[in-house]
Amino acid sequence: MFTSPASPARQRRQRREREEAALKRDAALRAAGRFDALELAESGGTIAGALDPAALPRLADRAVRPSGLPRAAIAWRIAGGHDALGRAALTVTLEGSVFLVCQRCLGPFAAPVAQETMLLLARDEAELARLDTEEPEVVLANTPLDPVALVEDELLLSLPFSPRHEQGECAAAGPARDQRGIGESPFAGLASLKAAPGSKQ
């Protein structure tokens, strides 16, 4: 059975209806705090924001909020695109700082964060299993993703395992260590005893 092609007016109306439906869907996803990762990759779009790392649930036992100091902040950006092989991907960029507790002096300090990670997108479980054997960073994108959860994941991976002040800034490395002298060997005393008269060789 032959079907005549739709008229230009009808084609425009159908295209407009599809665009309106897509806008409504995107608005609903944004309202729910989620986004379509595959669509973002296809369009080359970008979403961005900022957050307080101490407010993230999985950082609650690591990030602190020192009194008298301004809150730390992380600026994040998620850009859609493709990797060198043309596979759909997201690039997650983090910049800012997180207040952590120094494991030497137990005082708070601002740990700088500057992280950029490319995440490949898997369309289904089968593709996820295949890519997992080939690439270290893969995300299942068959449902809308939560950008804050992605940022939290990458932030956790960027933090030091044993956070400490920079050299010379830690209170625990103070006067007692300085009196002995930087660079002095802890075995210097043993060497002098060994060289003392009457000591056994």
Residue 83 lies in a domain: yes
Is 113 domain-assigned? Answer: yes
Condensed to tens digits (0 to 9), the pLDDT of residues 108-158 reads: 889 999 999 999 999 999 999 998 888 888 999 999 999 999 999 999 998
Whether 16 is in a domain gets the answer no
Please provide the average confidence, as pLDDT, over all residues in the chain. 79
Spell out the residues 6+ positions from residue 46 whose beta carbon is closer than 8 angstroms to its own.
40, 77, 78, 79, 80
* pTM recorded for the entire structure: 0.68
Q: Among candidates 85, 71, 87, 101, which has minimal Cα distance to 164?
A: 101
Q: How many structural domains compose the chain?
A: 1
Domain contains 175 = no
Mean pLDDT calculated for residue range 31-55:
89
Higher-confidence residue: 16 or 100?
100
First to last CA, the chain: 108
* Average pLDDT, integer, range 24-49: 77
125: domain range?
28-161
Could you tell me what percent of the chain has a pLDDT over 90?
43
In a domain, 173, yes or no: no
In a domain? residue 19? no
Would you say residue 91 has pLDDT above 50? yes
Residue 167 lies in a domain: no
Least confident range of 44-53, 58-67, 167-176: 167-176
Q: Is residue 136 part of a domain?
A: yes
